[in-house]
Structure 1
């Protein structure tokens, strides 16, 4: 088996020290190949050794200025540290260099979402849903950003699609409950808040929503 693949498999098994030793061998054997540095950088990022991870990604870029996955790695590193302008710059660079994977579009969308640039985040999150149609988390975040951009009807449709994939998605139920309230459908909202609480009993937002609706319903009796 290729040493890079072997080390990646060890990472998946949480055998980080063994994986690091193999990545070090790869770099020693192929010092001009950026892939070893990228993979080692990803391992260091995973164990939150941000300073060293940054150096490995930057070394990969020195070796190949078109190494899209190195820019993606840097984007993740800066995102983890809440350095959103730097994260955005590197995710955009990775996309410009041809990285066409759901994760990079999703992470760029999430970066913009964290900067409260919801409208700008939408096309990237939409592209992520197109590239990975099975990922309910990507779909949910797209729906959330639609709601934050005041595209309420579209958001409701997306949250409904999340529930088709996973009927026990408590946050999707909660958000449909909120939208039902906006549409003055108190009974429907209560149903969704109750479902959110059934799935996640400590869902404070759903509990507060339920309490508010019950108060409204009692006042109308």
Structure 2
């Protein structure tokens, strides 16, 4: 091994630590990177890598500690600030994440992963305009980057701009045709435009790619219920309930289904389950009203609230080769 031939070479220990971390051999990765830091205490790349190994080990406190040291010793270290942003984002500390990601982009205004995480964090806070600007900047830098179109499509859905959403999501599909999330979002946009056949095709594509996704089954079931395709709706919603038994909206829709097919006892059972899961929330209140309606106590009300799509920005960052490691070495 290089570390045996040159045991005092910090760069070799750094590279060994990165390799071990990628193999999920964390204890030995920490040992190698700690050796690199012991040999060169102001070695920012090794400090960064040590922090990211601790993040892989689900220890964000130590991860932040080492990453803070990395940027302290190298104030223009864009990757170190980006990784701090990842730490804060995973902890749900969106304001801190935004602050360090702004710093990242001041240092390197062309760093696409930083724009993506910055835009995603703004999106999670509901700052859709600023988030959209970040994703459009990515497209300026890299027109073929499909995740940016997906995010812009989702922003358009949140804003009720369904025509724009369809165009953006179809562009994303052309660039990355096997991303299930895109088809699910396209289905939601088409359903909002009452293009039910196109929506059904989109949801079925999403399920073909990820059949065990509860949310995709929920959205497909909701569409089939709108179309009075009761068998298909029952199949999709039942599968959704198996995959996500704590989602009250699934049971609300199952209650609506059995209400429509005149099975009031089963409808009441599902409405009760929805109330149990969300007693003080909007869905629980809707289920309570539906339960009274089933018992003949009130008239029906329809909210038409849509489901929310999950986001996987960390998966996308990994797919584009951003794992947080830095193999830059000091000799």
Q: Does 1:172 align with 2:284?
A: no
The number of aligned residues is 185
C-alpha contact (below 8 Å) 2:275/2:285 kept by paired residues:
no
Quote the RMSD (CA, aligned, Å): 2.3
- Residue matched to 1:13: 125
Matched, 1:64 2:179: no
TM superposition shift of 1:140: 0.9
After TM superposition, the structure 1 = structure 2 runs for residues 199-210 of structure 1, keeping only pairs within 5 Å, are 205=299
8 Å CA contact retained: 2:221, 2:236: yes
Q: Does 1:42 align with 2:157?
A: no
| 1:196 alignment partner in structure 2 | none
Note the 1:126-205 alignment, pairs <5 A: 126-167=238-279, 169-180=284-295, 193=297, 205=299
Distance 1:47 1:170 in 2: 25
What is the TM-score with the length of structure 1 in the denominator?
A: 0.74
- For structure 2, the residue ranges without an aligned partner over 5 or more in a row are 1-84, 86-113, 301-331
Which one has the bigger helix percentage? 1
Indicate the larger mover: 54-63 or 1-10.
Answer: 1-10
CA distance in 2, matches of 1:68, 1:89: 12
**Equivalent residue number for residue 54 of structure 1:** 166
SS in 2 for 1:65: coil
Cα drift, residue 83 of structure 1: 1.3
Which of residues 204, 209, 220 in structure 2 aligns to 1:92? Answer: 204
1:34 to 1:99, Cα distance in 2 relative to 1, 3 A: farther
Q: Secondary structure at the residue paired with 1:155?
A: helix
Call closer, same or farther: CA 1:99–1:52 in 2, change over 3 Å.
Answer: farther
Distance change in 2, residues 1:140/1:17 (3 Å): same
1:64-111 residue CA offsets vs partner (Å, 9 max, x unmatched): 221222211210110111111111110111111226432211111111
Q: TM-score, normalised by structure 2?
A: 0.51
Extract unaligned runs of 5+ from structure 1.
Answer: 182-192, 194-203, 207-221
Q: Which structure's CA Rg is the greater one? A: 2
Measure, in 2, the Cα distance between the counterparts of 1:161 and 1:86. 32
Distance 1:62 1:134 in 2: 35
Q: Which has the higher contact order (CA 8 A, sep 6+)?
A: 2
The question of 1:102 aligning with 2:187 is answered: no
3-state secondary structure, aligned to 2:299: helix
Q: How does 1:19-34 map to 2 (within 5 A)?
A: 19-34=131-146
1:149 CA drift (Å): 2.4
Q: For the Cα contact (< 8 Å) 2:166–2:190, is it kept in 1?
A: no
